[in-house]
């Protein structure tokens, strides 16, 4: 496992995934700060990330999660600069379920980076972590995010009502999933 943790996963000529490390804190915080207002449309945690040390706490938690076999988190590199984050929320190891979450800089939207990143995480989830089910939730009105699992052959399971509290209001989430039995590396 340690060998894999030291490698990047290439997803295109210009983009790759790199296991998140403490050395990413400064650049990741700066990217978060630049994209703060854009990301607030969809992510509830931005008011809690006010400094590089807050980003470092997130990174340490993500590293511990990975070290405890509860799912990896990656920075998304585009032309060798951090462009976002993708990873698994803590695995449900008893039921072999993983849930993917992600965000990408506004300036990198529309390049297929998240779709390619998810494809790599799905492969990792089914092949390395032996998951049976991978799910991706997306805010009901986040059309771009909802297109990602749809492109990757996930099944729409329904709407989870008021799943997330987003700056004073509850937001519904569409839930998508794919099972190991439905997975094809060529999807």
Distance of CA 140 to the CA centre of its chain: 17
Q: Kindly report, residue by residue over 98-157, the tens digit of the pLDDT.
A: 999 999 999 999 999 999 999 999 999 999 999 999 999 999 999 999 999 999 999 999
Q: Where are the domains of the chain?
A: 2-182
pLDDT at 8: 87
Q: Whose CA is closest to 92, among 177, 25, 1, 5?
A: 177
Distance CA 89, CA 97 (A): 10
pTM, two decimal places: 0.93
Distance CA 65, CA 20 (A): 11
Could you report how far apart the first and last alpha carbons of the chain are, in Å? 26
* Residue appearing with tokens 């490390």: 21
**Domain 2-182 adopts which CATH fold?**
Aminopeptidase (3.40.630)
Distance CA 1, CA 17 (A): 16
Q: Kindly report, residue by residue over 33-74, the tens digit of the pLDDT.
A: 999 999 999 999 999 999 999 999 999 999 999 999 999 999
Above 70 in pLDDT, residue 5?
no
Q: How far is CA 116 from CA 40, 50, 67, 155, 161, in A?
A: 23, 30, 24, 18, 28
């Amino acid at each position: 496992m340690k060998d894999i943790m030291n490698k990047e996963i290439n997803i295109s000529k210009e983009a790759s995934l790199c296991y998140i490390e403490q050395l990413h804190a400064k650049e990741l915080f700066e990217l978060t700060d630049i994209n703060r207002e854009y990301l607030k449309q969809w992510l509830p945690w931005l008011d809690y990330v006010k400094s590089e040390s807050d980003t470092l706490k997130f990174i340490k938690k993500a590293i511990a999660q990975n070290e405890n076999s509860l799912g990896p988190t990656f920075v998304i590199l585009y032309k060798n600069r951090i462009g976002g984050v993708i990873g698994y929320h803590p695995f449900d190891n008893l039921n072999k379920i993983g849930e993917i979450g992600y965000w990408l800089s506004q300036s990198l939207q529309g390049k297929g980076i998240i779709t390619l990143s998810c494809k790599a995480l799905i492969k990792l989830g089914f092949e390395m972590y032996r998951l049976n089910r991978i799910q991706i939730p997306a805010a009901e009105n986040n059309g771009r995010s909802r297109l990602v699992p749809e492109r990757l052959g996930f099944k729409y399971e329904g709407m989870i009502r008021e799943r997330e509290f987003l700056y004073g209001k509850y937001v519904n989430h569409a839930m998508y999933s794919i099972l190991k039995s439905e997975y094809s590396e060529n999807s």
